A and B are shown apart, each in its own frame.
Chain A
Amino acid sequence: MGAIEPREFLLLAPEIFLAVAGMVVLAVGSIGRGLAHRTTALISLVSLAVVGALVLTVQGPAVGGEAILAGMFMIDGYALFWKGIFLLATALTIVLSMRFVEEGGYPAGEFYALLLFATTGMLFMASGFNLLSIWISLELMALSSYILAGYFKRERRSNEAALKYFILGALSSGILLYGISLLYGATGTVQLTELAARLPAAMAAEGMLVSLGWLLLAIGLFFKVAAVPFHVWTPDVYVGAPTPVTAFLAVGSKAAAFAILVRILYQGLAPLLVEWQIVVAAVAVVTMIWGNLAAVTQSNVKRMLAYSSIAHAGYVLIGVLAATEDGLWAVLFYMLAYSFITLGTFATVILLERREYAGETYADYAGLARRSPFLAAMMLIFMLALTGIPPTGGFFGKVYLFAAAVQSGWTWVAVVGVLMSAVSLYYYMGIVVYMYLRDAEDDTPTPLPSRLLAGAIGLCAVITVLLGILPGPIVELAKASLLQLP
């Protein structure tokens, strides 16, 4: 470990700026009670834009890969790609939240500040190159998320969601940490490259410690990506949390967890490839089956989407498991597409939530095509994309993932994926059937209460379709953002 140059801190300017911006938002929110809603949202959006610019200008030149602060963080193309996803997801989440937060009557500053803090954690996670820094960033994100889930604190369901998320999150965090401690004991390091270098020797000497260590670590990460059987928190939290928060959890949290899962597995645990591939395969298969089947009989749309998000975690795990270049860029592409699709879906759900929790059951979607053809069409696009039907980004995402798995010899896992995609058609199209073929109880047109929100939905839909028609540029971008493979 050499001396640390001040320049290395400069490279973290985006993350530092975002943390400061979060505190500013918190302060502004508590000072100006009346006008805080719009102001704080605006500040948050602007600072996200600044962070985006900073990421490009400050970290962009280091895209070739530069480890900083004694190997604590890594600035590389892989990190940048994820940071792009996180920033876009957070910005869209803020747009989705504005009306919701305003109507909820809770302090807005706290909400946006927590979102920014969570995003800071996510940015750090993307760059994290040391189990310590990764874990701290993960906790920063998780703690913010717990509070966000319980943001409607006078609402029983919101509180219950926070409670469940917190207890299970803390448990998983403990498991993950225990795993790290065992790995540390076996190798004497928590820095990923050193870990990879020392693992073969450690395997020979302390095989049991290493095996338990990496497994517990992986279980902690499986919890965050909502893989079965560590997914149990997901449905309740997704249903109970305020819907924009649900969207944030389903996209941001999950993406960040995948970012570190891939980095740890590929870079830190590379010597254990054969061992973790089997575990990931098993988890992926169980996740796809359980997630898709459990979604079939849901009557609540948010709950269905929760199980769908579990199922999608399973699909992404297929790409992770391939451990090839094709698998990796497929994961990156899929997460990007999935982010827009999911955000668009939740944005549509938000638009329909007129009172507290209305607009959540399938029945609330009856005759939507008549009441609001725009929303119905958008929802149709998103449902097609989630099922993986062309011409949507979801289609190519799945094709790439499954193809990568087949190429690397995991055909049977891909087959399960395809079969389960067919099952998913059932519940996604359930919504479409309600929207287009059932009659609503009242035929009054649903107004579009917010043009901004409608715009965001439209944007997501356009990107979803664009990714399905012209996936090329993003695929190229993802291919330029690969990690060194195990």
Chain B
Amino acid sequence: MLDLLWLVALLPFLGAALGAVLGPRVDKRWTTAVALGAPGLSLLLALGCIFEYVRNVSPEPFQSVCYTWSAAGFDGYMAHEGGYQRFFVYMNLFMGSMLLLVLGSNYLVTFVGWEGVGLCSYLLIGFYYEEKFPPYAGRKAFIVNRIGDFAFLVGLFALVSRFGTLDYRTIFSAVAASPEAMGEPYLLGMSFAGFVGLCLFIGAMGKSAQIPLYVWLPDAMAGPTPVSALIHAATMVTAGVYMVVRSNAIYQLAEGVSGLVAIVGALTAIFAATIGLAQTDIKKVLAYSTVSQLGYMFLAAGLGAYSAAIFHLGTHAFFKALLFLGSGSVIHAMGGEQDLTKMGGLKERLPSTYRTMLIGTLAISGVPLLSGFFSKDQILAAAWGGSKPLWVVGWLTAGLTACYMTRLLLLTFHGEFRGSEEQREHLHESPPVMTWPLWVLATGAVVAGYVGIPRLGQFDIHVFDRFLSPVLLEVGHHGEAHHASVAVELALMAASVAIAAAGIWLAWKIYGAARGLEGGRGWAERYPAVHRALVNKYWVDEAYDATVVRGTWASARGLYRFDAGVIDGLVNGFRHVTVGTSMLSGFFDKYVVDGLVNLVGWLTQAGSRVFRRLQTGLVSQYAMVVVAGMLVLVFFVVLFR
């Protein structure tokens, strides 16, 4: 069965090719059959492989991840059954690349998959290419990712130059064999492990939307909702986490960089969570929530709790896909409306969506016995063992998460309906084809946590740890983080439950019952400073921004424009130095990127025109060219003979 593993990745590619060939004129049922059949088969194979793997442990872990992804992908398709053939082709292509990424046994194959999913993400964000914004968002995602990919590549180059191979096992066993060599100074005052780790982490920052490269993810919500669910919440964005965990042998030897990973993760987590508190676009809330949860995973990875990171990745895939698909159902019912302030009281009209989203919200908030509780608890336990300040940040974030998710739920489903009459007429529960996946994912969101029930003292039934053990080498001297005592563990659990409850309670207090938006407004008036900080929650960003862009962004046009400002502003800062002129961020794209491209294009075209002008159409002039060419050659050969 494991011999057939390559088929798992190939099938979606075949599906994509077939879908592309079949084209849009073919009956929709065929397209659907191909689109679902290929990954379906692939899923079955993967399941077979996992079964095989569990029976006789061989060194091909991570299929559980791939299974989760396949499942989520499957559901994504179902939800978008009304879509186009193009959509399915991209999706299959994405599936193939993603599987390539996780199944690859060396960095190169992983990188191919990495770029593949990046491309698909770009294509899918810009899926509605006739509108103005999506293509822009797609480009932004692509360019921001490119920054990370560049660092990733540099890291790969360093690995190749040291080991002569990119094969995981070879590299990791070489690393484990001589940890001292990895610690020697290498470049820029860093050790080799540190340099490679940093490069790989910058790559991961781009793909997994960490500070400061997170800005593309909120914009990526311009794509179709199932895409948001599948790619920008459950699968692709976690690739960075996967990669960092996969490279754990290197990170274990690079304590400084690991610390950086943890800090960046924690900061991203709380930073994005605060942003999530004040968003009014339902998908944006979920996007920032995703960024925040990814931060959690990096926090865990940075602290050496690799299996906790992957565990949270898995559970998160379930409940975040669920929440996104649920939001898709809501948006569908609202006729395309995404603004929370226009919703409210949808509970009765969308019962299935409501219930499943409630489950998802509880799961992500860390309510006991749901999946999010277990995985988050593991991360927090690791943080407690690693660094108390980071634990505090993580703990606060858990509360914030509960708060903004509850707020989302309340604003959407409770209170009075605030939309137009037309929308009220339009309200309806989504068809079963959209609600079924919701229930499937909801089930997952409930039970997925039980593969990783925490160890309490002697009670070690952590299946997940053992599943991952082949990749988690013990390198270096410090070993696995010390395990907290049962009492501490229980206390930590209690603390996280308490903060989650507090978050939910706070949200209820503000937005609950019939208060709805009014409650929020009341609080805003009572604490104007806090409110301002939350609405302009880019405070942190603004400070950062001002140092780079020098106040160009005084009048940011809405939150999205603000995000654009950071990265574009950075680039402008460079131009400031080199060109001596400061310009608005949008100009960067227009004049530098496009300008360079245009210059090359212009030169090419100019050359082309010159060559074309020589082609006059007059045969005697052609003969002249031939003879002239002959004479030139003769001249040179005779001259240099």
Contact = CB atoms under 8 A, between A and B. Distances in A.
Interface of A: 163-164, 167-168, 171-172, 175, 207-208, 211-212, 215-216, 219, 223, 228-230, 232-233, 235-236, 275, 279, 290, 293-297, 369-370, 372-374, 376-377, 380, 423, 426, 445
Contact of B605 (A228, A233, A297): A297
Given A211-B638, A215-B634, A279-B637, A232 B617 contact: no
A315 to B, nearest CB: 18
A163 B618 CA distance: 11
Contact of B615 (A216, A235, A370): A235
17 contacts: A168-B626, A211-B637, A211-B638, A211-B641, A219-B630, A223-B626, A236-B622, A275-B637, A279-B633, A293-B608, A297-B605, A370-B25, A372-B23, A373-B25, A377-B20, A423-B604, A426-B604
Which 7 interchain pairs have the tightest Cβ spacing? Answer: A373-B23, A229-B629, A294-B611, A232-B622, A296-B608, A297-B608, A293-B607
B23 A212 contact: no
B638 A212 contact: yes
B409 to A, nearest CB: 40
B112 to A, nearest CB: 10
B494 interface: no
Interface string B617-641: 1010011011111101110011001
A181 to B, nearest CB: 15
B155 to A, nearest CB: 24
B641 A207 contact: yes
Interface residues of B, number: 33
Contacts of A208: 638, 641
Contacts of A297: 605, 608-609, 612
B24 interface: yes
A147 B60 CA distance: 64
Contact of B23 (A232, A294, A377): A377
B187 interface: no
Contacts of B623: 167-168, 171
Contacts of B617: 236
B186 to A, nearest CB: 29
Contact of A233 (B607, B608, B622): B622
B554 interface: no
A377 B611 CA distance: 31
Contacts of B625: 229, 232
Contacts of A228: 629
B21 A373 contact: yes
Contacts of B601: 426
Interface of B is mostly: helix
Nearest to A218: B633
Contacts of A373: 20-26
A175 B23 CA distance: 52
B24 A163 contact: no
A298 B637 CA distance: 34
B104 to A, nearest CB: 16
Nearest to B634: A215
A376 B23 contact: yes
A365 B20 CA distance: 17
A215 B626 contact: no
A303 to B, nearest CB: 9
Nearest to A163: B619
A216 B608 contact: no
A175 B615 contact: no
Contacts of B634: 212, 215-216
Nearest to B610: A293
B130 to A, nearest CB: 10
Given A279-B637, A370-B25, 13 more contacts: A175-B630, A208-B641, A215-B634, A216-B630, A219-B633, A232-B622, A275-B641, A293-B611, A296-B608, A297-B605, A377-B23, A423-B604, A445-B25
Instruction: Pick the most buried of A297, A426, A445: most chain B CB atoms within 10 A of its CB.
Output: A297
Nearest to A229: B629
Nearest to A297: B608
Nearest to B613: A294
Contacts of B612: 294, 297
A215 B637 CA distance: 8
A229 B638 contact: no
Contacts of B630: 175, 216, 219, 230
Contact of B626 (A207, A230, A236, A293): A230
A369 B608 contact: no
Contacts of A168: 619, 622-623, 626
Interface string B376-419: 00000000000000000000000000000000000000000000
Contacts of A216: 630, 634
Interface string B583-622: 0000000000000000001001101110110110101001
Contacts of B638: 208, 211-212
Nearest to A165: B619
A123 to B, nearest CB: 28
A374 B21 contact: yes
Contacts of A230: 626, 629-630
Nearest to A376: B23
A212 B617 CA distance: 30
A369 B23 contact: yes
B608 A294 contact: yes
A105 to B, nearest CB: 27
Nearest to A215: B637
Contacts of A175: 630
A296 B629 CA distance: 23
Nearest to B604: A296
A211 B637 CA distance: 7
Contacts of A211: 637-638, 641
B89 to A, nearest CB: 11
A446 to B, nearest CB: 11
Nearest to A233: B622
Given A279-B637, A370-B24, A172 B619 contact: no
A204 to B, nearest CB: 13
A174 B25 CA distance: 55
Nearest to B611: A294
